[in-house]
């Protein structure tokens, strides 16, 4: 069995081969996506990629990109992204995914929505037959609405837990200063119906169901890399 940590690096680097000089690149957030960010930085410094600009999906990714001298831009000048590479917490056979355990789901979804190609990189443990089988659905909420939104999400059948900061056990705050409610639902029969229901409640900013968005998933498996594309 090959080392999964090493395979995650290889999967991220494989995704980076889809990037061409002159592209606008979305930079994902998390322990797998960071390998893609670092690979982009190395290729730029080596001159193998040129004239790349990037939009990060979190302040943490922005800091990593700056340390690697990756030029950053905003939507004001670059409203369309050629390719985004990001991680996922779950991926089903339709390439629908759950994202957000890293706390950056809002910016990640904004970036994904304007990307011509959205490539997910994940290890094989993130592959599921139904979304919700392992991971909760994160829901980003304005703090003022925490209780009513939490009650509403419970009415949809979720066990709701407020995301806490690991250091001081205070409510976790996103880059937009919102909170996250993690919704444990078990296998989700109809993710599209659930996504629509979640968005109906005032105070919900965004949810971690990324449906019909990913164009590719590169899985790191014990037997090597597996590249799946949306039909």
Domains, the chain, in order of start with CATH, read 4-127+211-229 (3.40.50.1360), 137-208 (3.30.70.260)
Answer whether residue 74 shows pLDDT above 60. Answer: yes
Looking at residues 1-7, what average pLDDT do you find?
73
Q: Write the CA distances from 19 to 39, 51, 63, 74, integer angstroms.
A: 11, 11, 21, 19
Give the pLDDT confidence score for residue 231 in this predicted structure: 64
Q: Which of 81, 171, 161 is nearest to 117 (CA)?
A: 81
Q: Write the CA distances from 134 to 26, 56, 126, 142, 204, integer angstroms.
A: 27, 27, 8, 26, 23
Coil, strand or helix at 211:
coil
pTM of the model: 0.95
Cα(34)–Cα(4) distance, rounded to whole angstroms? Answer: 15
Which of 13, 64, 90, 108 does the annotation list as catalytic?
Answer: 108
Alpha helices (H) in 140-204, listed in sequence order: 146-155, 191-199
- Encode pLDDT of 148-205 as tens digits: 999 999 999 999 999 999 777 899 999 999 999 999 999 999 999 999 999 999 999 9
- Encode pLDDT of 93-130 as tens digits: 999 999 999 999 999 999 999 999 999 999 999 999 99
**pLDDT confidence bin for 2, thresholds 50/70/90:** low
Answer whether residue 1 shows pLDDT above 60. Answer: no
Sheet holding 209-210, edge to edge: 90-91, 97-98, 209-210
Which helix H or strand E contains 219, and what residues bound it?
strand 216-221
Note if 108 is an active site residue.
yes
Residue 215 burial by CB count (10 A; 0-12/13-18/19+): exposed, middle or buried? middle
Give the mean pLDDT of the chain.
Answer: 95
Q: Are 205 and 146 in contact (CB under 8 A)?
A: no
Cα(62)–Cα(35) distance, rounded to whole angstroms? Answer: 14
Looking at residues 120-149, what average pLDDT do you find?
97
Q: What is the 3-state secondary structure (H, E, C) of 168-186?
A: CCCECCCCCCCEEEEEECC
Exposed e or buried b per residue across 70-80, where buried means at least 16 C-beta atoms within 10 angstroms of its C-beta: beeeeeeeeee
């Amino acid at each position: 069995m090959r080392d999964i940590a090493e395979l995650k690096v290889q999967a991220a680097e494989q995704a980076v081969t889809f990037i061409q000089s002159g592209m606008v690149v979305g930079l994902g957030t998390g322990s797998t996506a960071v390998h893609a960010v670092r690979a982009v930085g190395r290729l730029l410094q080596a001159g193998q990629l040129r004239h790349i600009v990037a939009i990060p999906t979190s302040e943490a990714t922005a800091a990593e990109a700056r340390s690697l001298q990756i030029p950053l831009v905003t939507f004001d000048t670059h409203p369309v992204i050629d390719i985004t590479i990001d991680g996922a917490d779950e991926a089903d056979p339709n390439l629908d995914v759950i994202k957000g355990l890293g706390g950056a789901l809002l910016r990640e979804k904004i970036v994904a929505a304007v990307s011509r190609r959205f490539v997910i990189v994940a290890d094989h443990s993130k592959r599921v037959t139904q979304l919700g089988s392992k991971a909760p659905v994160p829901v980003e909420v304005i703090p003022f609405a925490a209780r009513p939104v939490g009650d509403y999400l419970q009415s949809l059948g979720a066990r709701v837990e407020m995301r806490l900061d690991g250091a001081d056990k205070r409510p976790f705050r996103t880059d937009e200063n919102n909170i996250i409610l993690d919704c444990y639902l078990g296998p989700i029969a109809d993710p599209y119906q659930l996504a629509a229901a979640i968005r109906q409640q005032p105070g919900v900013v965004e949810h971690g169901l990324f449906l019909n968005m990913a164009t590719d998933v590169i899985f790191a498996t014990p037997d090597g890399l597996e590249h799946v594309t949306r039909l």
